[in-house]
A and B are shown apart, each in its own frame.
Chain A
């Protein structure tokens, strides 16, 4: 790959990202959204987060998990248990990651 191709690609990615993030903020005129659309926004962030993470948790190389010997399962279970016990996000990350690293490094899962 040429250096110029990469540089243009990265500049393009930067522009595309700001355009996406500011999509409805580009125009000075108010874009009238129908009421149902505004109400639907309540569900959008949860749906987007779940959409990003569920394949990361449940799939390997585009297929559903086929083995129980996968560190991610236990990392998510422990992180989930921690969250509903203490309601803390940092504890969810730390406990889950501890389980993940133990199983990955200790058992090679």
Chain B
């Protein structure tokens, strides 16, 4: 069992507090958007609790409103979620030894922020006993603040002016997290290439520009790693 007093639980919690506030603003906007796109309050509530994926939810709303065929809707959501497939290969290095139901239960909670902060806390990809408490400390807080803000958004949907553009606070949160990950010249170049690719490929359907940008950013990072290694015979 996970103890709330565990120092790693507390660390996971406290490192999540600041970034999750920005995500809560995003959740608020997602809640508002769900109701404004025509979902009833109970259905919007079910969506936020069951799906728990802001970008996939936002991408699905216009498709649901248009009555898009389910395969198209689900394929689009999977593409928006493709970055999680990439994360899951990494999660396996930490949690691969747990039983399957336990792994999947963890992954329901494993959103972008959890992944990013977890990998920053445990750069070495191997199992350690501190990992589960750290994971839950951040995951439970982020889940609660996201759901609370989303439910608030559902409740007050008709009173928040959309022109305020409050959803942008979520982008600012992700921007801060991105900056905190930029460690050397190679990560900067990789991020720059990914940004250009995401914008240049924006016209692709089903949010595939996200996948193109991830592929481009990772590919340039690998190329830079290789060129640095061949320039210096000894491995750094």
Contact = CB atoms under 8 A, between A and B. Distances in A.
B91 A57 contact: no
B179 A84 contact: yes
Contact of B213 (A22, A51, A71, A104): A51
Interface residues of A, number: 73
Interface string B166-207: 101101111111111110001100110011011100110000
Contact of B89 (A9, A19, A37, A101): A37
A50 B169 CA distance: 15
Interface in B219-236: 219-222, 225
Given A22-B104, A83-B179, A89-B173, A50 B194 contact: yes
Contact of B81 (A16, A24, A33): A16
Contacts of B87: 21, 44-45
A89 B178 CA distance: 10
Most chain A beta carbons < 10 A, residue from B86, B110, B168, B195: B168
Nearest to A57: B171
A30 B97 CA distance: 9
Contacts of B60: 9, 13
Given A13-B57, A18-B107, A71-B165, A43 B172 contact: no
A8 B217 CA distance: 35
Q: Is the interface of A mostly helix, strand, loop or mixed?
A: helix
B22 interface: yes
Interface of B: 17-19, 21-22, 25, 38-39, 43, 46-47, 50-53, 55-57, 60, 64-65, 67, 70, 73-74, 77-78, 81-93, 95-96, 100, 103-104, 107-108, 110, 112, 115-116, 119, 125, 163-166, 168-169, 171-182, 186-187, 190-191, 194-195, 197-199, 202-203, 209-210, 213-214, 216-222, 225
Interface of A: 1, 3, 5-14, 16-26, 28, 30-31, 33, 36-59, 62, 64, 71-72, 75-76, 79-80, 83-84, 87-90, 92-93, 96-97, 100-101, 104-105
